[in-house]
Homo-oligomer: A and B are copies of this chain.
Amino acid sequence: MIPLDWIAVDWGTSHLRVWAMQGDTVQQTAQSDQGMGVLARDAFEGALLALVEDWLPAGRITPVLACGMVGSRQGWVEARYRAVPCTALADGLTRAPTRDLRLSVHVVPGICQAQPADVIRGEETQVAGFLALNHGWDGVLCLPGTHSKWVHVSAGEVVSFQTFLTGEMFALLSSQSVLRHSMAGWDAAGFADGVQQGFDRPDRMMARFFALRAEGLLHGLDPGTARARLSGLLIGAELAAAKPYWLGQRVALLGAQALSDLYAQALSGLSVPVTQLDATEMTLAGLSAARALLPESEDRGCVN
C-alpha cells in the first residue's frame, strides 16, 4: 500500500485526474476520460473507485477533496456557487453521497458574479492554491484554457472575474470551420502578428478570419503561420477586452505550460509584468487548502 492521507480530485467535463496525497506530497497519480460530461449521477462513485480503489487503506475513511464540474448541477452533487466578493474557498464544502464506507467525498463550490453574469467552477481552487502559497498577494490572475478566466484578487478575496471563450473559439475555428483547410502546424512569427492585429483593432477581428483562408489560396500563406495568427488574433482580442483587468496590475498566469507561454508572450509585449505558475500545482495546493477546512473529525480517518 502507498502511504495515503487523502485523495485530490480534479474532475472536469471531459477528464478525471486523481492524486494519492500524503500531506502535501503526491504519492501517485492516475487519470481517465470519465469526465462529468459522460457520467450519470450514480456513475461518479464507480468512476472514482476505478482509479483509486487500490489506494484505499482498509478499516478507515479516506477523505477525498474534489473540484471542477463534478460539483455542477449535472455532476455528482451540486456544490452551489458562492457570490463575489468572497474568498476563493470557505467552510461548507458539499458532501457527495457514497455507498463505499471507505470514502468521504467533499466537493469545492464554484464562484458566481451577478453582473456581468459569470461563473467559475474549478479555477477557484487554483486561485485558492495560489493565494495559499502567496499570502497577501494583490493583483490579477489569468487562467488560460478552453475558457480563460481573468480574476481580480484583493485583500484575500475574489473581487471580480471574467470568462472568455478564446480557447474554444480557436478549437472550433481551426478544426471545424472553413479555415481548417488552410491551417496546420505552428509558426511563432504568425502568433506575434496576430496578437498585434487582434489587440490593436479588436473591432476588426471579424474581418480578419477569412483573410487567413484567402491568403492561403491567393498568396500561399504558410499553414503554420495561418494557425498561429488565428491564435494570436483571438488572444490579442481577449487582451483588448480584458484590459480593465491587467492595466497597471501585475498578472500571475496559472495554466498549462504551452498556452501559458503564449499569454506570457502577448502580455510581455504590452509591458505587463507576468509570473507563470503551473496550473496542476495550484490545483493541488488549493485542494490541500480545502482539506484544511474540513472539521477534524472528517479528516482524521476514523470509520464513522
Contacts and interface: CB of A to CB of B under 8 A. Distances in A.
**Interface of A: prevailing SS:** helix
A52 interface: no
A164 B213 CA distance: 11
Copy tally for this chain in the complex stands at 2
B202 A203 contact: yes
Contacts of A209: 164-165, 169
B168 A118 contact: no
A217 interface: yes
A214 B119 contact: yes
Interface of A: 81, 112-114, 116-119, 147, 162-166, 168-169, 172-173, 176-179, 202-207, 209-211, 213-215, 217-219, 221, 234, 237-238, 240-242
Given A117-B221, A203-B241, 17 more contacts: A112-B218, A116-B207, A116-B214, A117-B219, A118-B211, A119-B217, A163-B214, A165-B210, A172-B173, A172-B176, A172-B177, A202-B203, A202-B205, A206-B234, A206-B237, A206-B238, A207-B241
